[in-house]
Structure 1
Amino acid sequence: MSDIPSCLPAAKHSLLAFRGPDAVRYLNGQLTQDVRKLEDKALPACVTDAKGKLQFFVHVFRGQDDSIWIEGPANLAEELEARLTRYLIADDVEVENLSEAWQLVHVPGAATSPEAADGFARKASRIGIEGFDLWVPTGTEIPYPALSTEEAEAARIAAGVPAWNAELTEGMLPPEAGLDRNAISYHKGCYIGQEVLSRIKTAGKVNRRLARFTVPAGVKPGDELQLPDAEKSAGVITSVSPVADPSGEFAALGYVEKAGFESREFRDPGAGALITLNALL
């Protein structure tokens, strides 16, 4: 990397701030992540329903005034706020929507914390590379060159990082996407959906798993995967890198059904292509 690190392309986000003496305790009952252990990091977390199914994928961190900030998809700001405030009854918690007031600058690979006059930084990993989230007031000039959308997407897919509206969708079970590795605490106590997710961990089984593939040109998100000797669906491609590797093939992400867990080759009948599975994630 150069001496001046690059940042991810600008994007909008929903942003909520939770303040008050009950904020940490309340949010620990709403999120899969342990809010007590944030320190100087922005951590991934899931918002799940009573059946353990994904409703939102977010990042949670401490804001400027030691409040708890939650960042999620921009187009779901109202829904996220409604869900996260639904169970506030007698809790001493104030909630503020900061979606229009702050912008996120993620700097992957930065060796030291980035600085801005009116902003603050938290350690974070968003595309599989350790770095920092820099939060600055909306309209602040960004002092870093931006990666292209293609470069950022290629890095994410190569690292096997699931994205909202691609690998992560409402109604799925978070362990299917490997989110149990870094977005779910199994030791903090009760939260909505905790019983189901704990049973999945104990059983050690899911019906499908996120996987990383190598695919030829012509394969696209939404393509069905089949086992070489069967016509039954065994998975689906969800993301394909926009950048080819030196051999002219592309990294891709997708889901493999249980019947295909032991296979390393699949057919894409739509593209007429053979697909190589590199790793279950």
Structure 2
Amino acid sequence: MSLPEGFSIGPLTVLELTGVDRNKILNNLCTQDLRSLQSGQSRESFMLDVKGRTISHGSVACLDSRTLWISSPGQAHRLVPHIDRYIIREDAIVRDASEDFLAYLLRPESPWMQTHLAELRETKECSEVFGKQAISIQVPWLGPGTLLVLATPGTQCPEIAELSSVCHPSQTPNLQTHDGSAWETLRIKNFWPWYGVDIDERNLPQEIGIDARAISFNKGCYLGQETVARLDALGQVQKKLALVELQTDSAWKFQGPSEWMLNGKSIGTLTSASPSDTIETGRGLWIGLAMLRRGHMEPGSQFATDDGVDVHVRSAMHR
């Protein structure tokens, strides 16, 4: 089955920060080094609470007069007051801009992208485009070269109308919908964890296993840094998000997060899963993300859960 050029995934959480100190504020709350972020640059980061727990994970896009925090839907009601609490004398304002945009994800080989934005992508990681009717941001969500386009709802821009026509409507993953869409398969394969599904406020950032992408260990102080530094010094975590391959009974369906038991003991939780294109020996083949305990989270680990799921832990390509 051929894949569409991209996916229309509807609204996301989009926070807009303005003012000369906007990146300083984000830098004080995030694991990535954002203070020197320049217009046209984007980064992946965690946002932490005072205990070093992840209260969000997403992409940061710095534009000429504003910086955006972009993540999975439904977080603005928590994050806006959290950020605002730490704006004291700084010149910065944060607001919920989620309803200002509809999101489209384009695969790297998209003809639409090559026609309209190929030249721009060579010089900037993010930019306002089409008369400021949209924002293009390079993200790793579907692998290197993925483009996220945030478009103004109801715009009459012909380029966005064309974009909408080539993008497949697809729900964003959540705890209630598991549509097995191609976009869900691609994000799992490329190890883009979805906040509220694969990660939540109970997790420490190093448990997600994307330190090289989303954590700077050389930046100055920030909220939750002591916990991050302590874990870095210890050199290990007790559980970690892993890319897994599953072989199951052909009738098995992913119905949402499920705890995995091995010999009567919990070894972790399957958080996301999507069917593969192949069927082997009459059994279904799936890929997924699972939060696994030590002894089972290492790439190459293989085990069969008590409910008959054969699991192989794979190495994620883009960690």
Aligned to 1:234: 267
Per-residue CA deviation, residues 201-256 of structure 1 (Å, 9 max, x unaligned), is: 222100011112221242634333344xx331112211111343353411121022
Displacement after TM superposition at 1:5 (Å): 7.3
Question: CA 1:104–1:22 in structure 2 vs 1: closer, same or farther (change >3 Å)?
Answer: same
User: Number of residue pairs matched?
Assistant: 275
Contact kept? 1:224, 1:269, Cα under 8 Å: no
Aligned to 1:18: 17
Q: How does 1:1-281 map to 2 (within 5 A)?
A: 6-35=5-34, 36-37=36-37, 40-63=40-63, 65-109=64-108, 110=113, 112=118, 113=120, 116-117=130-131, 118-140=133-155, 141-144=160-163, 145-147=166-168, 149=170, 150-217=181-248, 218=252, 220=254, 221-227=256-262, 230-245=263-278, 247=280, 248-261=284-297, 264-270=301-307, 272-279=308-315
Contact kept? 1:20, 1:67, Cα under 8 Å: yes
| SS of the residue 2:99 aligns to | coil
Question: CA 1:92–1:256 in structure 2 vs 1: closer, same or farther (change >3 Å)?
Answer: same
Contact kept? 2:140, 2:146, Cα under 8 Å: yes
Question: CA 1:128–1:246 in structure 2 vs 1: closer, same or farther (change >3 Å)?
Answer: farther
Question: CA 1:51–1:256 in structure 2 vs 1: closer, same or farther (change >3 Å)?
Answer: same
| SS of the residue 1:133 aligns to | strand
User: Which moves more between the two structures, 107-116 or 15-24?
Assistant: 107-116
2:167 partner letter: A
Amino-acid identity (%) = 24
| SS of the residue 1:37 aligns to | coil
User: Which moves more between the two structures, 95-104 or 251-260?
Assistant: 95-104
- 1: CA distance between counterparts of 2:12 and 2:264? 41
Per-residue CA deviation, residues 39-72 of structure 1 (Å, 9 max, x unaligned), is: 5343222111122111112321113x43211123
Unaligned runs of 5+ residues in structure 2 are 122-128, 171-180
Question: CA 1:216–1:186 in structure 2 vs 1: closer, same or farther (change >3 Å)?
Answer: same
- 1: CA distance between counterparts of 2:9 and 2:141? 14
Contact kept? 1:53, 1:170, Cα under 8 Å: yes
- 2: CA distance between counterparts of 1:253 and 1:219? 15
- 1: CA distance between counterparts of 2:137 and 2:72? 19
| SS of the residue 2:188 aligns to | helix
Superposition TM-score, scaled by structure 1 size: 0.87
Contact kept? 1:49, 1:193, Cα under 8 Å: yes
Query: What's the C-alpha RMSD, in Å, of the aligned pairs?
Result: 2.6
Contact kept? 2:33, 2:219, Cα under 8 Å: yes
Question: CA 1:226–1:77 in structure 2 vs 1: closer, same or farther (change >3 Å)?
Answer: same
- 1: CA distance between counterparts of 2:148 and 2:206? 25
| SS of the residue 2:103 aligns to | strand
Per-residue CA deviation, residues 76-100 of structure 1 (Å, 9 max, x unaligned), is: 2121111111111111112333222
Unaligned runs of 5+ residues in structure 1 are none
Contact kept? 2:84, 2:93, Cα under 8 Å: no
